[in-house]
Amino acid sequence: MGLESFGKVKIITIERFKQQSNGRIKHGFCTRLGGVSQGPFRSLNFDAEVGDSLENVEQNKVILGQAMKINPARIFLANQVHGDQVLVLDEYPDENPSNYYYLDYDAIITQKKGIAIGVLTADCLPIMLYDPVREVIGIVHAGWRGTCLNIVGNVVSKLRNLFGVQLEDLLVGLGPSIGPCCYSVDIKVVRSIKNSTNRWKEFIKPLKANRYSMDLVALNIHQLLEAGIPKENILRINACTACNSKVFFSHRASKGKTGRQLSFIQLVEEGA
């Protein structure tokens, strides 16, 4: 887990994304470090719905924008609902803002340049997708519910069908999330995973009565491989948010009272 400093902000990037984009994208898995929020939301929190003030969240967007040289007004997030729906963003939301209030999506794909599409997490798995050939990007919020619905497979399918993406060109980055070391789930979750794959035993291990450990990342990697993504194109950041709760917001480690970190990817505008 290599943290990069952009001003006060600490971010994790994917080296292969940078190499193959040649400056045509900006991206990052943010940590909780470098913002203005206080208390359980300290410090780079991007969610005003968890108890932090909107003023702090807006200032954190400005801080990130200045650090990464992106327009904070064009950081675009959907309303995450732990589903499998994918928003195809084919216009600039700030030009038609009334069309983009409270849209319930857990993934976004776009070819529009200058929009930083993002997801918020505090243990769930953020996933970025980038095709440097067709210049299309995607971002996914994958909790256990969305994973059981195979949201990442749905995104890959839409990228192929709508943008003509070839699987061998598609790079996929999996960011920090809760690991099986800390992710204890109940039988309800296990039943959902059983219904989603006949290889469920690879991702679930018994702990004690009615408690099981779940490997959220491994299940998503399995789904990516099933979708046809070459293994060498799947790039993982190996960091457990719960084990590293001083660096990342973690819902489990903080017993529910915490902020949300942002993961984002943006196609850079010409001449920017």
The model's pLDDT over 219-237, given as tens digits with 9 standing for 90+, comes to 999 999 999 999 999 999 9
Asked if residue 41 belongs to a domain, the reply is: yes
Q: What is the pTM of this model?
A: 0.97
Buried-exposed string 52-68: b where 16+ CB fall within 10 A, e elsewhere: beeebbeebbebbbebb
- Label the pairing between strands 171-174 and 234-236: parallel
Asked if residue 157 belongs to a domain, the reply is: yes
Asked if residue 205 belongs to a domain, the reply is: no
> pLDDT at residue 116 above 70?
yes
Asked if residue 216 belongs to a domain, the reply is: no
| Mean pLDDT calculated for residue range 178-182 | 98
Asked if residue 133 belongs to a domain, the reply is: yes
Q: For the chain, how are helix, strand and coil distributed in percent, rounded to 5?
A: 30, 25, 40
Can you tell me the distance from the alpha carbon of 177 to that of 183, in angstroms, rounded to the nearest whole number? 10
Asked if residue 203 belongs to a domain, the reply is: no
Domain containing 136: what range? 4-177+234-267
The tens digit of pLDDT for each residue in 127-169 reads 999 999 999 999 999 999 999 999 999 999 999 999 999 999 9
Task: Provide the number of structural domains found in the chain.
Answer: 1
| Mean pLDDT calculated for residue range 97-121 | 94
Can you tell me the distance from the alpha carbon of 147 to that of 139, in angstroms, rounded to the nearest whole number? 14
The dihedral region occupied by 78, where left means phi > 0, alpha psi between -120 and 50, and beta the remainder, is beta
Please check whether residue 218 is in contact with residue 199, taking contact to mean a CB–CB distance below 8 angstroms: no
* Residue 202 identity (one-letter amino acid): E
Residue bearing tokens 């067709």: 134
> pLDDT at residue 65 above 70?
yes
Residues 6+ apart with CB under 8 A from 90: 110, 111, 112
> pLDDT at residue 37 above 80?
yes
Asked if residue 192 belongs to a domain, the reply is: no
User: What's 109's domain CATH number?
Assistant: 3.60.140.10
* pLDDT category of residue 271 using cuts at 50, 70 and 90: low
List strands edge to edge, sheet with 4-6. Answer: 4-6, 9-12, 25-30, 261-267, 116-121, 75-77
> pLDDT at residue 272 above 70?
no
- Position 98 scores a pLDDT of 81
